[in-house]
Amino acid sequence: MPQSKVTDLSAAVGRIEPGSAVAMGLALEHAIPFAAGHELIRQETDELTLIGPISDLLFDQLVAADLVDRVRAAWVGNVSSGTGYNFRRAVEDGGLSVENHSNFSIALSLKAGAMGVPYLPTRSLLGSDIFEENDRFREAEDPYSGDRLALVPAIRPDWTVVHVQRASPYGDAHFWGNSGVAFEAVDAADDTLIVAEEIVEPDVIKSDPSRTAITRDSVTAVAEVPFGAHPAPLAGRYNRDNEFYLDYADETNDELGTIAWLNEWVRGVPDREAYMEKIDRDLHVSEPTVAAEVEYGR
């Protein structure tokens, strides 16, 4: 009989040690695990290396809480308003190490980590100035054609955190909508935390095996956290909370405002349920669209 991996979010995040390299915010603007990030802030898990393509506000908030030593990403900010003020201040002050990537190079780095190879080659970075911004990339000659290639080194996170629509107690997860590089990050990581809108019976997962994007063998812990991706959208469940992003930009454009915001929205609430009680608007999708029925034989 498989063993349940269900735990509450606080205990799950408590397994992430200070100094860990954590991949999160991997589905671009979709399914960003804000609840897990906020729990890292409440537990003051510091000296983190954050890994991701476009993290939207998540990395900015962790940087604001002074928990981050290094960021390996393609972009950090606020998609709705542009700059993430806390990230920008940290970079300008020289207190944050940044390893610049393109979205594609992050994908290649995580894919290489998942494959267990030291690097993957590409032509896409050639001719850019990214080599001046990232001293881990190398140029090399293709031994077959003699063409120039860029070599992108592997990234292997200590932890990957992914928010999904549903998961079984054993860690098998259904995830639909844009996935970005989530699956590559899961396969590359030593440990994976699945945060799910709902935990369902294993038969629900088995009923649609093609949608089982993450399987139990890759998963360390599972936590059920409804609205755990807010203010990001989650396909089929809730929309992006644009108002929240704009308010965040207005309220965190200086350090005092940022401290007040963290105290109100993160440190001042014990859990996600209390957090959502503060959100006075309905974010559920208004017109759910159901896919065509899929038939499986037996």
Confidence (pLDDT) at 239 = 93
- Per-residue buried b or exposed e for 235-263, using 16+ beta carbons within 10 Å of the residue's own CB: bebbbbbeebbeebbeebeeeeebeebbe
Which residues have C-beta within 8 Å of that of residue 207, sequence separation ≥ 6?
A: none
Share of the chain above pLDDT 90, in %: 82
Classify 218 as helix, strand or coil: helix
Model confidence pLDDT, tens digit, residues 193-222: 999 999 999 999 999 998 998 999 999 999
DSSP assignment of 176-210 equals: -S--TTHHHHHHH-SEEEEEEEEE--HHHHHT-GG
* Second CATH level (architecture) for the domain 9-114+157-277: 3-Layer(aba) Sandwich (3.40)
Q: Rounded CA gap, 56 and 34, in Å?
A: 10
Confidence (pLDDT) at 235 = 95
Confidence (pLDDT) at 191 = 98
The DSSP code for 71 is E
Tokens of 285: 């999708």
Model confidence pLDDT, tens digit, residues 114-165: 999 999 999 988 888 888 878 889 999 999 999 999 999 999 999 999 999 9
| Site of tokens 């690097």 | 119
For the question of whether the overall pTM of this predicted structure is more than 0.75, the answer is yes
Confidence (pLDDT) at 178 = 93
> Averaged over 272-293, what is the pLDDT?
86
Environment class of 204 (CB within 10 Å of its CB; exposed 0-12, middle 13-18, buried 19+): middle
> Averaged over 179-194, what is the pLDDT?
97
Are 233 and 29 contacting, i.e. CB atoms less than 8 angstroms apart?
Answer: yes
Confidence (pLDDT) at 203 = 95
According to DSSP, the residues that pair with 22 across neighbouring strands are: 50, 159
Model confidence pLDDT, tens digit, residues 57-109: 999 999 999 999 999 999 998 888 888 999 999 999 998 999 999 999 999 99
Q: Rounded CA gap, 177 and 180, in Å?
A: 9
Are 164 and 192 contacting, i.e. CB atoms less than 8 angstroms apart?
Answer: no
> Where exactly are the structural domains of the chain?
9-114+157-277, 119-153
**CA distances to 102, 159, 171, 203 from 221, in Å:** 30, 11, 7, 19
